[in-house]
Structure 1
Amino acid sequence: MASHRRPTQSGVSQSARVTVLSAAAATAAAATAAAAFAAPAAADPGQPGKARVDRLFAQAEEATEQYNQADERADRLRREISQAQDSVARGQERINRMRGALGAIAGAQYRSGGLDPSLALLLSEDPDSYLDKAAALDRLGERQSAELRELHQEQRRIGQQRTEATRKLAELERSRAEVARHKRTVESKLAEARRVLNALPEVERAAFDRASRSGRGALPDLSGAVPASGRAAAAVAAARQAVGKPYVWGANGPSGFDCSGLMQWSYAHAGVGLPRTSQAQRFAGRRVPLSEARPGDLVAYRADASHIAMYVGNGQVIHAPYPGAPVRYDPVGMMPVSSVTRV
């Protein structure tokens, strides 16, 4: 399960706090949701062109989530590499200081050396003072040996850090290549979808356009919807504010969103840090049955969870559907549901 970071967020309206309604209203809302879950939207066999566009958009969305995942990994690697490079630089400075100190001691010993200790004692005018100095030199020698061992350990540690940083740099390059590959896939699928859409007969294209515009600015009746928590209520309030904003693949607000970006942005307004991808978001809380979905729950779609939406009550979700269609309300059963997660 993903960990939740809870940054302080300003601007969350007090109106997002929802009072608990009567048991009868809650029961009615649950019944409405269950009916919507039980009857997912079926594909229209009479519209092969529309079905192909839908399939291409679904493939583009899957590639978008893979892009998000690779981009998130690249960002993490960049941060880790920066930290490792800083640590190596600090360690190297420490090694240089240790070398300088040891070199100064070694030079002093060399300059004062060359006389057998027993002969030095014999010729000394103050044998007691000499013995005191000899004992001090012995202790200095022990400390020098300890510092030399510490220097060798620090050198090994810095060497390991350099090796790890080099490995992560290579991994970052692979991740960058993966990001670029997924981006090309997304752009290719979207371009093909636009070509197919433009080639549709006028009647089919008009029907598709009507479907893509449905829900813009419309607010379903949410009077019977009771969020599971205050943070869920705040996330729902934020998601409602995003209705009408454009779908922008790879974006997480505030002017445009892809599906998982909308969920991440909405819950950030509730002080909850969600993972970036829909596949990770479905594990960001507790699974609940479809029939018990409440406002603020995350609804993942398709077996691979490549699409995600927010349940807002009365059988409705808010989501960012696909390019050309703004953030909108749709029936929760618009496509096969794979899981429902309560954050």
Structure 2
Amino acid sequence: MVSEHSLPTLRGSVTALAVAVVCGCIVGQAGADPQPDPAVPVVDAQPAPAAPAADRARSAVPDPAAAFTVPPAPMDPAAAVDQIITLSHEAERANQAVLAQQQKVDAAEADQRAAEARRDAAQAAVDAAQAAVDRYRDTADRVAAANYQGVQVNKLYALMLSKSPQQLLDQMSVLDQITFETEKRLAAYKSAEAEARAARAESAKAADEAAQATTAAQDAQARLRDKQDSLQGRINEVRELYGQMTGAARAQLAGALIPAGFDIAGIVGAGPEFAALQVALTRIGDPYVWGATGPHQFDCSGLVQWAYAQVGIDVPRTSQQQAQGGTPVNPADMQPGDVVTFYDDVSHVGIYAGNGMMVHASTFGVPVKVQTVDSFPIHNVRRY
């Protein structure tokens, strides 16, 4: 039972709780500074007295309304398309940079393997030369010891010690044989020593080259990781923006797979490059994927390389390399099947399809399609 003298305190607590609920305030723990609602003017800057424990327990329950957020308004389709095209071009530039760096890594690793093979061969030569030196070292050591001890083994010494003509002849014959064999072995020893010195020098050079090749390969791999990180960042931006686009914006981005009035069956041409174009046209509708080379998903240079490979023509992997291969063609003289590269940084490529059109793997969210060749600034045209 509540006494009469405690009623004012209870009524005060209930009143305070009601005010807190109405205002949407959450009272913090005792001693914490209360955070003013920016939507409500601050009347008194003095800290409020600590609420009773019961009130603090009730105020710990979150207000459901506080967790509600207003979803962002749908993006304007045209603005969204412009943004994603810009981001996608940056991502494609990063994609081509990754592909080019991967080729540098492959080349550096091949150089490393070759250098290590030369190093191993040079070390094997050192071992063989040292074995030859060891075979003849005993003779060299004996001759050196004999000379040091003053041993006489010449013919004059044999003449002085001989007791008969026959003994002299025998001793001189033996001396000749010993001298011949000794000189031959000494010559072989000197040759082996020279070969060993040369082999050791070559081995040291090969080992140094192998170490440098290893460092170059590691540096190339580090640069590749940096470029891959940059590409992944761009990809994440594109995917995030694409996820915010409305269905109308996505449809506007994708566009028509084949422009109205363009007749694929009416394309006229000849030769392997025209055959490559025909192959590329069979992939219309396939998705764009960074780094993909087919057969059912592509990036821009991947589509070109894959289409030409189907007709037996080896085309480089990156758009920059594709802009340097084949034979240069004046843009005014383009023929169906020619490779067309775009932008100053050569970050995009397609295959000319005739009548001012091209087939290409455009960008994320856009399938392989036919589009006007002047949709982007042309860098150059090559015929493979």
Amino acid at match of 1:149: A
1:107 aligns with 138
Cα deviations by residue, 1:57-111 (Å, 9 ceiling, x for unpaired): 0000000000001111101111221122122112211210110111121024325
Structure 2 residue 207 is the aligned partner of structure 1 residue 172: no
Structure 2 vs 1, CA of residues 267 and 151 (structure 1 numbering), >3 Å: closer, same or farther?
farther
> Structure 1 vs Structure 2: percent identity of aligned residues?
23
Deviation at 1:295, TM superposition (A): 2.0
Helix, strand or coil at the partner of 1:304 = coil
The equivalences for 1:1-343 within 5 A come to 47-111=78-142, 114-116=145-147, 119-121=152-154, 122=157, 125-209=170-254, 211=255, 214-215=257-258, 220-227=263-270, 230-343=271-384
Structure 2 vs 1, CA of residues 257 and 133 (structure 1 numbering), >3 Å: closer, same or farther?
farther
Task: Give the distance between the partners of 2:137 and 2:262, measured in 1 at CA.
Answer: 81
The answer (yes or no) to whether the contact 1:290–1:340 under 8 Å persists in 2 is yes
Amino acid at match of 1:67: V
Deviation at 1:112, TM superposition (A): 6.4
Task: Give the distance between the partners of 1:270 and 1:144, measured in 2 at CA.
Answer: 61
Cα deviations by residue, 1:125-161 (Å, 9 ceiling, x for unpaired): 4312322431343243333323322222222222222
Task: Give the distance between the partners of 2:91 and 2:203, measured in 1 at CA.
Answer: 44
The answer (yes or no) to whether the contact 2:136–2:186 under 8 Å persists in 1 is no
Decide which moves more: 269-278 or 284-293. 269-278
Aligned residues: 294
| Root mean square deviation of aligned Cα | 2.7
Task: Give the distance between the partners of 2:137 and 2:201, measured in 1 at CA.
Answer: 22
Unaligned runs of 5+ in 1: 1-44
Structure 2 vs 1, CA of residues 215 and 144 (structure 1 numbering), >3 Å: closer, same or farther?
farther
Deviation at 1:222, TM superposition (A): 4.8
Structure ranking higher on relative contact order (CA contacts 8 Å, 6+ apart): 1
Helix, strand or coil at the partner of 2:352 = strand
Deviation at 1:288, TM superposition (A): 1.2
Helix, strand or coil at the partner of 1:162 = helix
Helix, strand or coil at the partner of 1:275 = coil
Helix, strand or coil at the partner of 2:374 = coil
The answer (yes or no) to whether the contact 1:74–1:172 under 8 Å persists in 2 is yes
The answer (yes or no) to whether the contact 1:198–1:205 under 8 Å persists in 2 is no
The answer (yes or no) to whether the contact 1:222–1:313 under 8 Å persists in 2 is no
Task: Give the distance between the partners of 1:327 and 1:129, measured in 2 at CA.
Answer: 92
Task: Give the distance between the partners of 1:175 and 1:338, measured in 2 at CA.
Answer: 28
Structure 2 vs 1, CA of residues 299 and 181 (structure 1 numbering), >3 Å: closer, same or farther?
same
The runs of at least 4 aligned residues of structure 1 exceeding 4 Å deviation read none
Task: Give the distance between the partners of 1:295 and 1:301, measured in 2 at CA.
Answer: 17
Cα deviations by residue, 1:170-210 (Å, 9 ceiling, x for unpaired): 1222211222222222221122122223333553333224x
1:39 aligns with none
